[in-house]
Structure 1
């Protein structure tokens, strides 16, 4: 199989369920690094191919609504916050922090269910890493997608009631 053929096959295989680079490497009989290079090329040509914490996905065009929420909580409350969002019908597209030295740092998440939340939290248990917001005293942002603006309003209300919603500073508005 040529490089071009492999890339076409990878692109065809990508869907809504994340696929790890090591899984693709095993399937195509190449190293993980070769797959990472292939996906870098594919991502340059196809903006809907994204990297998540659980692997690579190809986002489908959806007519959903999005809103960014500024939140603050302890690392121990991460599961509660994420479950609250997905239980209200939201999908956590990404998380980001605004760091005074590094600037805005954004990481794609694609968390849609309690199972996704569980797998995300387990990844931290299996490593020495911590959640991104530890670099900003718990402050961070979530880009959340939902089917309707009313769902986003419900998510905002629940975040507020649980004390997670953080006020925006004048320069953030």
Structure 2
């Protein structure tokens, strides 16, 4: 396992825990010594990640990494796209399109779970609301939050496998 991957695992483990995680437990998860974990925690702190030490282990303070992810797909793919993101640990903060005349148009979504996805899909169907992507032929973006870069990379890989990942300028 690479150092960067290990750092992402440490951050994810700390973010996912509602209680302190000991250095010994992190060492077992990452299959390294406790001393390596101590050094990794120092590296993460140097990257301005708020990790505090307690007598029972490490705690991370509200740490979300954000990335704009661009996709292009039909309306029928909305539910699959959003479920893929939340299933991998992402939170969809918004949806936006870059319109040639009006510029960026965005709407808050705050989708964190499959339940949120289902509610969004049902509400738009019930109210017969057209998605913003109608203005741009399916091309749009989301601001996605996750506890690590690794998770955001996994989300992009999954969307690429679905053949819907796009680039900002495409």
State the TM-score bracket (shorter-chain normalisation). 0.5 to 0.7
What SS does the corresponding residue of 1:96 show, helix, strand or coil? strand
Structure 1 unaligned blocks of 5 or more = 1-60
Aligned to 2:151, what secondary structure does the other structure show?
A: helix
How many Å apart are 1:127 and its aligned residue? 1.3
Separation in 1 of the partners of 2:141 and 2:160? 14
**Whole-Å separation in 1 of the counterparts to 2:157 and 2:132:** 24
Residue of structure 2 in register with 1:40 after alignment: none
Alignment of 1:14-163 (within 5 A): 62-163=62-163
Q: Give CA-to-partner distance per residue, 1:11-54, whole Å, 9 cap, x none.
A: xxxxxxxxxxxxxxxxxxxxxxxxxxxxxxxxxxxxxxxxxxxx
TM-score (ref. length: structure 2): 0.62
Q: CA deviation at 1:131?
A: 1.1
After TM superposition, the runs of 4+ consecutive aligned structure 1 residues lying more than 4 A away are none
Partner of 1:165 in structure 2? 165
1:53 aligned residue: none
TM-score, normalised relative to structure 1: 0.61
Q: In structure 2, list runs of 5 or more residues that go unmatched.
A: 1-60
CA distance in 1, matches of 2:169, 2:81: 21
Deviation of 1:168 after TM superposition, in Å, equals: 2.9
SS across alignment from 1:133: helix
Aligned length: 110
Q: What SS does the corresponding residue of 1:128 show, helix, strand or coil?
A: coil
